[in-house]
A and B are shown apart, each in its own frame.
Chain A
C-alpha cells in the first residue's frame, strides 16, 4: 500500500506536467473552435445559401468522423502530404480545434436562433446595420445562452484529448501509460490519471458556472434558478 502511495507521489510531478500539456491542448483547441465557431454560426443563420451550405458540409464532415480517424488523417496524412512540419501538440490543437469548431458552431447557431426575431427587428428599426445588430444585440444574448452548451463542449474535448496518445503527444494518459509499463503498476497510476481528469472536468465546469452567474441578465430566467419553489 505505502509502495503505491510512494509511486503515485513520485509520478505526480511527471503526470502534472502532462496535464499542463493537456490544458494547452484543450485551451488551444477550444479557442480555435470558438474563433471559428462564432462566425460559422453567424454565416449559417444570416448568410446566403451558399455560405450556409458550405458550413453545413464542414459540420457534417467533422462531426461524422471518429476523432481518431481525424487525427490520423490530418497528422499522418494531410499535414505530411502538404509538407507541414508540425509538432504533435500543434497538430492536435489544429485537429481537435477544427472539430470543436463544428460542434461549437452548432451550439452558437442554436443560441442565436433562440434569441427572438423581434430583437433583430427592433435593432434594424433604429437604423442599425445588420452587422452591428448581430454584434451589439444578438451575440451578447446568444453567447450567454451558449455557456451551458459550451461547458459541455469543454468536458467532452477534455476527455477526447486523451486520444492524442495515439500520435505520441505527451499528455496525461501517454505519461501514465509510460510509467505503468515501466513499473508494472497500472492501477494506481491510471487511477491517478483518472483523478486528474475528473478534477480538470470539475474545475472547468465550475469556472464556467461562475461565469454564467456573473454575466446573468438581472431579472432574467429567475424562475429556473429557484427550482424549489414550484
Chain B
C-alpha cells in the first residue's frame, strides 16, 4: 500500500555504547511516508536510546540517520532544523510546568519558528482542538490528568508540522482508564497519514495501526514484520516468549478489553 511512497526516515547501522554496556548494536530500518512502525522489546533493550539517537538527543557512536533524504547525523546544518521536523512524545510527558497548555503548544512556534504571537496562538488552539483539549487551553500541566498531559504533549509536537513523529511509550505512565484517550489520538494521526515510530506495549494498538512491528532485544532487531504475522506466527522463540510475557503483564490490550 505504501510501496510507492518515499522514504521519510532511514536509520542505518546505529551503534551506541554507555561505558561497558553496548546498548544499540547495529539497528537499521526505514519508514515510508504515512507508515507507522511499532517498536516492542523488553525494558532496557535500548528502545528509548534508539528514539533519542534518531533526533540526536543522544549522539550515536556509529551509523547514520536520514530524514527525507538529508543526513541528520554528521550534518553541517544545525540539528535544530531537523529536530523541528521530528516530533517527539515522551513517556512522562515532559510538559513545561510553568506555562499553560496553550503556552506549551505555542512556545515552539514563537521561540523556534519565530512565528508572530497571534498566529502562533491560533495555530496552537487549532492543535489543542485536534486532541480534544480546547477547553483545557488555559490550565497548567499540574491541573491536567495524565491523559490530558500526554495529549497536550502530542499537540506540542504536532504544532511544529513534523514529517515524522517519535513516540516513546506514550501510555506507559498512564492509569489504565486514561490509556484509551491517548491511543485514540495517535490512531487518528495514523489514519490521517502521519508517519510515525511508536514504542509501545499496547498490542491491540500495534495490531490495528502498525504497518510493521519491530522486536528489539539487547540492542538488536530480532524480528520484524506485519503485526498479524509477528503476533500470530513469530519466527523466533524469543519473540514468542516476549509476546506471551507482555500479555501476562499487561493483559489484553485496551481494544480487546
Contacts and interface: CB of A to CB of B under 8 A. Distances in A.
Interface of A: 116, 118-119, 121-129, 132, 136-137, 140-141, 144, 217-222
Contacts of B95: 122
Contacts of B96: 119, 122-123, 137, 141
A128 B82 CA distance: 11
A128 B96 CA distance: 13
Given A129-B80, A219-B142, A118 B94 contact: yes
Nearest to B56: A124
A128 B143 contact: no
B97 A141 contact: yes
A119 B108 contact: no
Contacts of B55: 125
Nearest to B84: A127
Interface of B: 55, 57, 80-84, 86-88, 90, 92, 94-98, 100, 107-108, 111-112, 139-143, 153, 156-157, 160
A140 B160 contact: no
A144 to B, nearest CB: 7
13 contacts: A118-B90, A121-B90, A123-B96, A126-B112, A127-B84, A127-B160, A128-B108, A140-B98, A141-B98, A144-B98, A219-B139, A219-B141, A221-B142
Nearest to B52: A121
B84 A126 contact: yes
Nearest to A122: B94
Given A124-B57, A126-B160, A119 B97 contact: yes
B153 to A, nearest CB: 8
Given A118-B90, A121-B90, A217 B140 contact: yes
Given A127-B84, A141-B98, A218-B140, A121 B57 contact: yes
Contacts of B141: 219
A145 B141 CA distance: 17
Given A116-B94, A118-B92, A121-B94, A127 B112 contact: yes
Contact of A128 (B88, B90, B92, B111): B111
Contacts of B108: 126-128
Contacts of A118: 90, 92, 94
Contacts of B81: 127
A136 B111 contact: yes
Contact of B142 (A121, A136, A218): A218
Nearest to A115: B97
Nearest to A130: B80
B158 to A, nearest CB: 11
The winner among B81, B82, B83, B97 for most chain A CB atoms within 10 A is B97
Q: Which 5 A-B pairs have the closest CB atoms?
A: A219-B142, A127-B84, A122-B94, A219-B143, A118-B94
A116 B92 CA distance: 11
Contact of A217 (B83, B90, B107, B142): B142
A217 B57 contact: no
Nearest to B51: A125
Contacts of B157: 125-126
Nearest to B58: A121
